[in-house]
Structure 1
Amino acid sequence: MTDPIVHSETPVTLVGAGDATPEDLQNSLTLAPTCVAADGGAALCLSARAEIAAVIGDFDSISAETLAQIPPERHFEITEQVSTDFEKALIRIAAPLVLGVGFLGGRIDHQLAVFHALSAFPERRCLLLGHEEVVCLAPPRIELPMQPGERVSLFPMAAVTGHSEGLHWPIEGLDFAPASRIGTSNRALGPVSLSFGSPDMLLILPRRLMPALVARLSPPDAARWPARAG
């Protein structure tokens, strides 16, 4: 078990060096006011004048000039090269929820690695902010305030089944898996209820739902997954 570096009773914003703007960061900080940088994401934090509680990573993509602007006691260099900077930071944040800014868009290999981390560490609840969408690992069950016609996309990271109410194409009885059945571009009929049998489904929703998702994913009594065995 990895010891946390950042402890927070409220959601935390984690910032990467990918495709994001200062406005994206400020939007996240209104919901998750503690700011943590994953390596080179510190540059966006400084440009947005956000106070950095910690910078975590292997420090191969952050400049000396950027590091010099952050107090040394907030530098946490993790030198191993097995995991990505996103993963290094995510597993060292103890908070009800992590909002990830700067991890969608940009390099596809980085984005895929982030999705892998969401699935590998289901106990570390995280919501990723993109330009038009938000992405998270679907919890055991969730109710969503969708509007008719809004897109609900489901992408399995492994074999998984689920139940839905309020979708144009119900998912009951379907066996999802990466190489067989996926759930791209389903549509809401109105409010949507989803439940899943294992922590293996990515949920991709309109960005406007970010505040609602934070409210549903953050509470201590919200349904959540345990850590994977081993």
Structure 2
Amino acid sequence: MNLKMIVQDLGPITLLGGGAATQEQLHAAMGIAPVAVAADGGAQLALTHGVDVRAVIGDFDSISEDVRAAVPAENLHHIPEQDSTDFEKCLARIKAPLILGVGFAGGRMDHQMAACNALVRAAHQRCVLLGSDDLIFLAPPSLRLDLPEGARVSLFPLGAVEGVSDGLEWPIQGLNFAPDRQISTSNRALGPVFLSMTAPKMLVMVAPEHLEMVVASLLAAPNWGR
């Protein structure tokens, strides 16, 4: 099903969610992606920090009347269906080379798990979630990460997937990954890391200090497409 795009931009976009987020995370994202969109209750985060949003997208069950009144009516996009999360609604209606999600990797665990699930379900979107301890993103078909020796690289599958690696302390080739079987959390970089995956099912987690490098790496990597 082809959905009408609500926001289109040639540069990365910051997407604000209603979960826990810090001023530092928002500043880091907006420094790379100054165009902002809010997913439903993420409009409160935008209002709190004085961020103008190009659009607010969602079913509007988490946005207060005061916040709605503060957003121009033409920027409010009500999507009433309940078969997807507000994050998924945004991912399906934003066209940009990359999305930086703030307010999706903190707070309620069910919301965090749903956001990770959405990264896999919308594999065509390059998207990085910013958390207090992690950057979380879906591994593309192949990826080079210019990490320093000793940097943590956690790999967590959300489905059956295999891969190969170069530059990890514990290589992954020959392993059959799945959420209820093999995972590879707390792996470590020996230096620059190369990853290749057979399917869009593997989440990668590295420290937030590597945000600019991760963004550059994902923009240079091939995409899974639709």
Q: Give the TM interval when normalised to the shorter protein.
A: over 0.9
Deviation at 1:218, TM superposition (A): 2.5
Deviation at 1:217, TM superposition (A): 1.7
Deviation at 1:27, TM superposition (A): 1.4
2:89 corresponds to which residue?
Answer: 88
Normalized against structure 2, the TM-score is what?
Answer: 0.97
Structure 1 SS opposite 2:161: coil
1:109 corresponds to which residue?
Answer: 110
> Amino acid of the residue matched to residue 212 of structure 2?
P
Q: Percent identity?
A: 51
Deviation at 1:23, TM superposition (A): 2.7
Separation of aligned partners in 1, 2:69 and 2:120: 34
Alignment of 1:16-165 (within 5 A): 16-165=17-166
Structure 1 SS opposite 2:32: coil
Deviation at 1:145, TM superposition (A): 1.3
Question: Which stretches in structure 2 are left out of the alignment for 5+ residues?
Answer: none
> Amino acid of the residue matched to residue 124 of structure 1?
Q
> Amino acid of the residue matched to residue 26 of structure 1?
H
2:225 corresponds to which residue?
Answer: 226
Normalized against structure 1, the TM-score is what?
Answer: 0.96
Deviations 1:152-205 (A, max 9, x none): 100001110101011000001111011110111111111111111110100001
In the alignment, does 2:191 pair up with 1:207?
Answer: no
Structure 1 SS opposite 2:77: strand
Deviation at 1:22, TM superposition (A): 2.7
2:176 corresponds to which residue?
Answer: 175
> Amino acid of the residue matched to residue 134 of structure 1?
L
More displaced 10-residue stretch of structure 1: 168-177 or 208-217: 208-217
Question: Stretches of 4+ moved more than 2 A in 1?
Answer: none
Structure 1 SS opposite 2:27: helix
Deviation at 1:132, TM superposition (A): 1.8
> Amino acid of the residue matched to residue 176 of structure 1?
F
> Amino acid of the residue matched to residue 156 of structure 1?
P
Separation of aligned partners in 1, 2:95 and 2:214: 19
| C-alpha contact 1:39 1:62 (8 A) present in aligned 2 | yes
Separation of aligned partners in 2, 1:168 and 1:24: 29
Separation of aligned partners in 2, 1:69 and 1:41: 13
Separation of aligned partners in 2, 1:215 and 1:180: 31
Deviation at 1:106, TM superposition (A): 0.9
2:8 corresponds to which residue?
Answer: 7
Separation of aligned partners in 2, 1:63 and 1:83: 20
RMSD across aligned positions (CA): 0.9
> Amino acid of the residue matched to residue 44 of structure 1?
L
Separation of aligned partners in 2, 1:148 and 1:213: 16
> Amino acid of the residue matched to residue 224 of structure 2?
W
Structure 1 SS opposite 2:50: coil
| C-alpha contact 1:11 1:218 (8 A) present in aligned 2 | no
| C-alpha contact 1:13 1:28 (8 A) present in aligned 2 | yes
